[in-house]
Each structure stands twice: as structure tokens, then as C-alpha cells.
Amino acid sequence: MNHRDDRDNDDDSSDHRGGHAAAPARPRPPAPPARPQVPTREEIALLDVFEGLGPRDIMVVATAQQAAEALAALGALRVVGFDTESKPTFLKNEVSSGPHVVQFAALDRAWVFQLHDPDCRAAAAHLIASSALTKVGFGLAGDRTQIRHTLGIEPQAVVDLDTVFKRRGYRNSVGVKGAVAMVFRQRFLKSRKQTTSNWAARHLSEGQVCYAANDAYAALRVSEAMGLDAPSLTPLPLSV
């Protein structure tokens, strides 16, 4: 019995060596689509201008009544564009007292909070600390540190789109200008004059208001165009 079993085994192995054709190779899966490249500064300069919100679409929140109205409107939303502005510092070792302005944007309007009034500060702090309102923006790590220091709160449900792009394979910071150019093939205008203006002023110019609002608005537009919704957005870790 043992010898016959050995012969049977030998016959089987010879059949496999010479009597059976190799299985056909499985077709390779298609290569993933190429990741879009961020346009260069020169390429961006040739693009049409991204159309942002105008003054009529922006509410400056500077009083208790305006803060209450803004809270009611923003409380009905799930995802908003978000950013902050601070008076720039120019001296060595000077510490910023910002943020001085906090902005939120929907797809059709925006709210620019000035933080001089206690009710405006409280309303902005409430929205930033709300886990029910997802806030998307670019380069928000520094904003978060200032918010903790100035408003004394821990921001919740804050999503930095630069982090989203890095998770998709982009090594360098994409930023709002790069993202708008890549996603919409349009040029996002960002004035250095407004960037370095006095955001702590009691009265903001129309240029400042539009600049602040559209930083938040562009972030929301990019988020929407990428197909991101509240459940798919991962907030910044608490350690940031």
C-alpha cells in the first residue's frame, strides 16, 4: 500500500509538470488617474479671476444685534468656510494680540466678526467651539494657537484643507491660491496691502471686508468642489 501511494503521488506531480498549461495571468488593474499638478505662479497669472462675494453679500458683525442675527443664520449651517485676521506685527519678539477679525462663509454670503464688542467675541467663540459646525480653511494651525490664547477656547470641528491635500499626496502646502487655480482654473486675488493692513481698526475698509470674507468663501468653494462634506472631513487633532 505504501509503494502504490508513492507511485500515485509521483504520477500526480508529473502531470502537473507536463500535462497542464499555466493559468492565464490576471489583467493588471488600471493605473490610478494622475494627480493634478498645482499651477506655477506664472501659470496662475494667466488665469481668469475667481469671482468672490461682493460687499452686498457680506455682513460685518460689530454689535450685539448683528451678533445675534449672525448666530441664528450660522446655526442653521453644517459646514462653513473659516479664517481669521490679525493686525500684523513688525517688531522683533512682538507678540500678536489677534485674532482681531473672525470670518465665516456660506456659498452665498459671509459674516465678518470684529471682536471689539463683548457680544461679538462671545458669538464668534461659540461658533468656533461648536462641534456641530464644521469649519474649513487653509493654514489654520497658527489661527488655532491665537484663538486659544485670545479667546480662551478650544476650537472644534476645524479642518485645514492643506492637511487634506497632503493626505492626497501633495508634499508642499497648496494654499488657497494654488487650490483655486488647480480646482477651478481661476486666479484668486490676494492683496498684500490688505494682508498687512490694520485688522484691529474699529472701522474696516470695504477692501478689508471683502478680503476677509473671500478667504473663507474660497475655502468652502474648494471643499465643495472636491466633494467633501461634513462626515468626510477630519478635524485637526487637538494637539495642533
Question: What are the tens digits of pLDDT across the range 68-116?
Answer: 999 999 999 999 999 999 998 767 776 777 899 999 999 999 999 999 9
37-232 folds as Nucleotidyltransferase; domain 5 (3.30.420)
Q: How confident is the model at residue 33 (pLDDT cuts 50, 70, 90)?
A: low
| Beta bridge partner(s), residue 101 | 85, 114
Residue 141 has pLDDT above 90, yes or no: no
**Is the distance from CB of 94 to CB of 208 less than 8 angstroms?**
no
> CA torsion 89→54→102→92, rounded to 10°?
-10
| DSSP string across 162-211 | HHHHHHTT--S--HHHHHHHHHHSEE----HHHHTS-TT-SS--HHHHHH
**Is the distance from CB of 120 to CB of 67 less than 8 angstroms?**
yes
Residue 28 has pLDDT above 60, yes or no: yes
Q: pTM for this structure? A: 0.81
Q: How confident is the model at residue 235 (pLDDT cuts 50, 70, 90)?
A: low
The CA angle 166-169-172, to the nearest 5 degrees, is 55
**Is the distance from CB of 213 to CB of 61 less than 8 angstroms?**
no
